[in-house]
Amino acid sequence: MNAIFFVSTNIHKYNEIKSILQNRITDLNFNFYKQNLIEIQDDKIEKIAIEKAKSAYNMVQRPIIIEDDGLFINSLNGFPGQYSSYVFRSIGNRGILRLLEGNKDRSAFFKSIIVYSNGNIAKAFSGQINGNISSTITDDGWGYDPIFIPWNTHDNNENKTFAKLNKTNKKNELSHRRIALDKFVKWFTQNNKLKKL
């Protein structure tokens, strides 16, 4: 059976990824490896993710996946983007809403970069979902989920944040993370060399 470690300190991400991968790769033992990874400073989230994956593999010495993601707000020139974790810890959702006060353009997108590495191969998969920043913070959820409303909900009359959609597992059906993981699953299951690890 293939074993892959998700390297992160974020148990919420691990639980979402595990839920999305569940029953999609039947011969996969997916584990959580709690480790704080140093991130390089760069304008490109993809480059940050690939460097983070190299660091993660060097620590674990087993096949790993990592994720780097960000919330990009169009009227703020993509802020917080690749600095999303730091900004969330610094000003949180209330700070983001304050930055957007009086701003009619509340469009934004979430981007996820999933990187797989087995020491020989490092492969990145991206997913993006467009939406708006809400004017209020909804209950529950984690990170920016309580203020992000995706555009591609199944019911267009339903202006629900990721936090609300997560209650019915709809977030995992359409999120940026799901889109990136769908690409990973397709690649992983088609790659015969990986199945021999």
Angle, vertex CA 53, rays to CA 33 and CA 60, nearest 5: 40
Q: Any catalytic annotation for residue 68?
A: yes
- Whole-prediction pTM: 0.89
Counted domains in the chain: 1
Distance, C-alpha 69 to centroid of its chain: 5
**Residue 110 belongs to domain with CATH number:** 3.90.950.10
Between CA 4 and CA 23 the distance in angstroms is 15
Q: Which of 94, 93, 69, 73 is nearest to 82 (CA)?
A: 69
The active-site residue, picked from 68, 105, 139, 140, is: 68
Between CA 12 and CA 1 the distance in angstroms is 25
Between CA 7 and CA 183 the distance in angstroms is 19
Angle, vertex CA 163, rays to CA 12 and CA 106, nearest 5: 115
Domain that holds residue 182: 2-195
Question: Digits of tens for pLDDT over the chain (197 positions)?
Answer: 678 999 999 999 999 999 999 878 877 889 999 998 887 888 889 999 999 999 999 999 999 999 999 999 999 999 999 999 999 999 999 999 999 999 999 999 999 999 999 999 999 999 999 999 999 999 888 999 999 999 865 455 568 999 999 887 788 888 999 999 999 999 998 885 445 44
| Element of type H or E holding 188 | helix 176-190
Identity of the amino acid at 18: K
Cα pseudo-dihedral 50, 56, 57, 61, rounded to 10: 180
